[in-house]
Amino acid sequence: MNSEVQVVNNLWRWLSGQRDPIGYQPGRVLHLVEKNLQPFECKRLSDRVLHVVCPQGLEVEVEERVVTSFRSYSVTCHFHLRGETGLQQPIHIQAKNTDILGRGDTRFSAKSSNDDSRRLMAVLDCYPEITDALDCLNFRRLNLRSEAGQWQLEIELFAATELVGPRPVCSGYQRLPYAQRHLMLDVMQMFQKLMDRVTVQGVAA
């Protein structure tokens, strides 16, 4: 993303009322995440987007987002993996867990209602290793989307975030530990293999 596009994006955020909270420094948390991802090859695409090349061959984009609440705000990082697919119908599948800390009984649910979504949900049931890995991953939410020949996996962790509030004791950056980083990349690689197989063999793979 070049500087002109960044200026346009910032102007649009201002005109639409999506102003950044006072004290927020775009890209600061992303810089800390980049340190947690060493020694992976990282390249900034913009203030809020980081491109990461992993040893497994994965190319991941990390997007920094800020959410404002009463007298505080949080900065989260969303990890994206993309690829091509032959699926014809739009798909949105979400994964959540029942544990308040983000680790526990992972459940998938289809947010789109069509044949490809139902079949892909059935395919996921045949890959218990994905659910087992997600049970150990400390994540807020996971979204798998497919549309117009492209699929995207998005994972938001509890780590790689920062909470900024009126009391310093409640504020701080939650670093991305090595074990969680390794587990997240394993999950991404599993999904990539699944979607590659679906592309080659069809949704009934």
Tokens of 103: 């680790």
The answer to whether residue 9 sits within a structural domain is: no
- HEC profile of the chain: CCHHHHHHHHHHHHHCCCCCCCCCCCCHHHHHHHHHCCCCEEEEEECCEEEEECCCCCEEEEEEEEEEECCEEEEEEEEEEEEECCCCCCEEEEEEECCCCCCCCEEEEECCCCHHHHHHHHHHCCCHHHHHHHHHCCEEEEEEEEECCEEEEEEEECCCEEEECCCHHHCEEECCCHHHHHHHHHHHHHHHHHHHHHHHHCCCC
64 and 49 in contact (C-beta within 8 Å)? yes
Amino acid identity, position 116: D
The answer to whether residue 11 sits within a structural domain is: no
What is the pTM for the complete model shown? 0.85
- Please tell me the predicted confidence (pLDDT) of residue 169: 54
The answer to whether residue 3 sits within a structural domain is: no
Question: Average pLDDT for residues 21-27, to the nearest whole number?
Answer: 87
The answer to whether residue 76 sits within a structural domain is: yes
Which residues, 6+ apart, have CB-to-CB distance to 7 below 8 Å? none
Q: How far apart are CA 19 and CA 45, in angstroms?
A: 21
140 and 158 in contact (C-beta within 8 Å)? yes
Average pLDDT across the chain, whole number: 86
pLDDT over 50 at 82, yes or no? yes
Higher-confidence position of 96 and 79: 79
The answer to whether residue 16 sits within a structural domain is: no
pLDDT over 90 at 8, yes or no? no
- Please tell me the predicted confidence (pLDDT) of residue 168: 60
The answer to whether residue 159 sits within a structural domain is: yes
Q: How far apart are CA 157 and CA 33, in angstroms?
A: 12
Domain that holds residue 49: 21-201
- Please tell me the predicted confidence (pLDDT) of residue 194: 93
pLDDT over 70 percentage in the chain: 82
The answer to whether residue 8 sits within a structural domain is: no
Task: Name the domain count of the chain.
Answer: 1
Task: Give the tens place of pLDDT for each residue, 103-141.
Answer: 568 999 999 999 999 999 999 988 999 999 999 999 999
- Please tell me the predicted confidence (pLDDT) of residue 172: 87
